[in-house]
Amino acid sequence: MYKQTIITILLALVTMTGWGQTFNWKIEGTAANANPEDTLLLIDLEEQNEVATLQVRNGRIIPTSGTLSNPIVCGIAKEGRPGWICAFVLEEGTATIDIDLNKDYVQHIGGTPANDDLMAVFSAQKSAPDDLLLSRQNMYNIVSNVVSKYPSHIVSSFLVGFCKGIFTPSQSLSLIEKLAPNLQESSKIEMLKDNLTIAQETEEGKMFKELTGISRDGQPIKLSDYVGRGKYVLLDFWASWCGPCKAEMPGVIAIFEKYKEKGLEVVGITVNDKPELSDSVVQKMNIPFPQIYKSAPMSTYGVTAIPATILFAPDGTILARGLRGEEIEKKLQEIFN
């Protein structure tokens, strides 16, 4: 009994030594196109709270340091500028970051092990080949290696979420299986897994699933009114509250006008939006293609982020998911040219 008590106490002491332990972090680097009055915010992307502020002098980030108990993935944001400029890992050691405030992607991150690996992912994304399947596979191989290397590190959880729009649902689910149990059981990953399981039923090569809603004039409408009727159909998922959706809409309209005579139909699918707000944008932007309001794209197609697209073959088979901008154009050139 006495021996068992001693062992229990020792185990408790071993466990307690992990409590309250902290590590020192430091960040330095450069910020091109920064004004003297610019203040950069360091945001915890998981908790969405401010970690620190960064000052820039003569294009250089003044070295800033602090302590944490666990690594976190941070984004750098500029006051008055929407969104974050880059993502990196705040972990033990000195992270070096080079950013350009006029661009939406990181120029360079490094200095610590996880940041070196994260930079490899960003570099692969930036220099992706024109072949979509090859590009996706290259990215998947790199991310899979990082997740296997850091199964219990927050960077792996971040990458699974960050790449969900790039990889197929099956690929993303396979990455989740590589995560340590504590990350797999987080509410964020559990919700993502549920959505990916739904999306897996509608990934490339699968037949379309019915989606119902109302048209612009308030009449019942369904996806099968367009899909599976002998035309290529591009679904564009968007909402009136989504800035990037509206920013990309002129490009979607241009694609519709360019290919409609060749056999392309475009259908807008609004996500979590009120019909009157959606229709106001349709009128203001002169969107010429049909819309489906008040549908359930998240539960039917696993759409977790917008803007998003799905391209269907004439027989209703899903050809591609997640194409945007130039990717849509390249895919349609392959089909129609």
Q: Are 31 and 61 in contact (CB under 8 A)?
A: yes
Per-position b or e across 70-79, b if 16+ CB within 10 A of its CB: ebbbbbbbbe
The enclosing H or E element of 242 equals none
Q: Crossing angle, helix 132-149 and helix 326-336, to 10 degrees? A: 140
E runs forming strands in 48-186? 49-57, 60-68, 72-78, 86-90, 93-100, 108-110
Helix (H, G, I), strand (E, B) or coil at 174: helix
- Give the amino acid at 8: T
Catalytic site residue from 74, 86, 163, 242: 242
- Start-to-end CA distance of the chain, whole Å, equals 81
Sorted by sequence, the CB contacts under 8 Å of residue 227 that are 6+ apart come out as: 208, 233, 312, 316
Instruction: Tell me which of 74, 86, 163, 245 is the catalytic residue.
Output: 245
Tell me if residue 242 is catalytic: yes
What residues are paired with 178 via a beta bridge?
Answer: none
DSSP assignment of 263-304, as one string?
A: TEEEEEEE-S--HHHHHHHHHHHT--S-EEBS--HHHHH---
Q: Residues, the chain, total?
A: 337
Nearest in space to 316 (alpha carbons), one of 226, 244, 254, 191: 226
Tokens 């979607």 sit at which residue?
252
How far is Cα 265 from Cα 234, in angstroms, rounded to an integer? 6
331 three-state secondary structure = helix
By annotation, the residues acting in catalysis are 242, 245
